[in-house]
Each structure stands twice: as structure tokens, then as C-alpha cells.
Amino acid sequence: MFQAEPARTREDGGTGLGLSICRRLATALEGRIPLESKLREGFTDHPFRGQAPMTNEKAQGDGGAHESAVGETGPLVLIVDDAQDNRTIYVLFLKLSGFRTAEAENGEEALQKATTLLPDVVVMDLSLPVMDGWEATRRLKRDARTKTIPIVVLTGHPLPEHARAAREAGCDLVIRKPCLPDQLMDAIRRILDSPTRTRPKNEAEGPSRREAGPNAAP
């Protein structure tokens, strides 16, 4: 189960994404999670049964890294988020959909990995330690090596000023949290299919540079 903003869960009851994400994971792994529900007693889950694809990943003990193995094919997506749970769920869905992945937990690490790996897309959280997502985006777009890499920003900030600042920093798409993994994958595919994605940022104006809500249509 995954909860957004755990501190508010008791007061607001959560966002309702947990079961939806679990269902998508179970379906992707060709399995199921049986539930039994009783009025005023809640529900009880039973052991999950399914099969996970074998991947050549680093062990979980290395800080949660899920770097794709050398030689794998598919677009490379750099996930930048300081929450390991968020990175893990997005990485799992992306890998099941044929993407390669790399991870960073702060803006400074994102710059290092982006310039080294040259990913096809960067998925950037805004509230990051060491260097925030706004500054990391600005630096990536100023660097000749990385300025053409599309940046998808995920933000939980409710004010439109934050999304506007992210676009001004150079991001290609702003998606508000909570964002289901399949919605993120749809956004990534739209950007990769865009004919303008390989152009320098100051030449690549178009429909991909817009703000999308959590229920945006693909």
C-alpha cells in the first residue's frame, strides 16, 4: 500500500491511490491480491501470487538503486526523487513497460547522472535536498550536453506559481501529484514521440510544453 503525505492520512483519509497502484502492479505481474471486506471492520488482504520478470539489477542493499544493466534496450529514463518508495514504484512500472531506468535522490546527483548517462527523459521532483528541482532543471537546460533532454516535473505544490516557475526553468511538462505510474508513462511516451524533442530548448516550442493534471488524457 502506498500513501501520499502520511502525516495527513489520519485527518484526511489519504488520496485513495494505494489500492489502484496495487491493482496495476498485480496485473502487470500476472497475479492477483484477494481482499475480504466487512462493514465497519475494514478489509483483510491475502498473500499476493504472481510472477516478476527477472532483471539484472543491483541488490536492494545499495541504497535502492535500480540502474539498468549495460546492453539493455529501450529509452532511458532518469527518475529524480528523494523518496525511495516513489522511485521504486515508478522504476518497476517503467521496467515492465520496456524502459531502462536510472535514479537520483537529489538535484546534484541528477546533474551528475544526466551528464554521464544522457538519458532520453528526466523525471524531476521539485522538492529535493542538496539542490532543488528548479535549480537542477535550469542547469540541465543551460548545459549544451543536456539541454535537449526533455524534463517532466512531478510536483505536489498546490500553487500555480510553482508550476509556472518550473516551466520558466525549462521543464517540458508539469504533472501534479498524485500521479499514477501509467499516467507518467503515457506522458513520457508522448514526449518521446514528439517530433520536436531533439531540438534545443529555445527551438522546441509546442504542445508538449504544458501543464497536465493527474487525470489528463493521454
C-alpha cell read off for 125: 521532483
- The pLDDT profile of the chain, 218 residues, written as one tens digit per residue, is 444 444 444 444 444 556 666 666 666 666 766 767 677 666 665 555 555 444 444 434 444 444 554 446 899 999 999 999 889 989 988 998 899 999 999 999 999 999 999 999 999 999 999 999 999 999 999 999 999 999 999 888 777 888 888 899 999 999 988 888 888 989 999 999 987 665 434 333 333 333 444 444 33
Same domain, 77 and 34: no
Is 217 within a domain? no
Q: How far apart are CA 128 and CA 61, in angstroms?
A: 22
My answer on whether 42 and 69 are in the same domain is no
Examine residue 218 and state whether it is found in any structural domain, yes or no. no
Residues 48 and 65 placed together within one structural domain of the fold: no
Decide if 190 is inside a domain: yes
Q: What's the CATH code of the domain at 183?
A: 3.40.50.2300
The reply to whether 17 and 90 lie within a common domain is no
Q: pTM (2 decimals)?
A: 0.65
CA gap 111, 104 in Å, rounded: 9
How many Cβ atoms sit within 10 Å of the Cβ of residue 70?
7
Structural domain contains residue 132? yes
164 and 181 inside one domain: yes
For residues 11 and 96, membership in a common domain is answered with: no
Q: How many domains does the chain have?
A: 2
Does 129 share its domain with 170? yes
- Please state, in angstroms and rounded to a whole number, the distance separating the CA atoms of residues 36 and 17: 19
Amino acid at 102: A
Q: Are residues 28 and 105 in the same domain?
A: no
If asked whether residues 182 and 92 sit together in one domain, one would say yes
> Which residue segment(s) compose the domain that 131 sits in?
58-212
Sign of the torsion formed by the C-alpha atoms of 171, 169, 66 and 34: negative
Q: Are residues 84 and 18 in the same domain?
A: no
pLDDT of residue 173: 92
In a domain, 137, yes or no: yes
One-letter amino acid of 202: N
Residue 90 and residue 3 share a domain: no
For residues 144 and 120, membership in a common domain is answered with yes
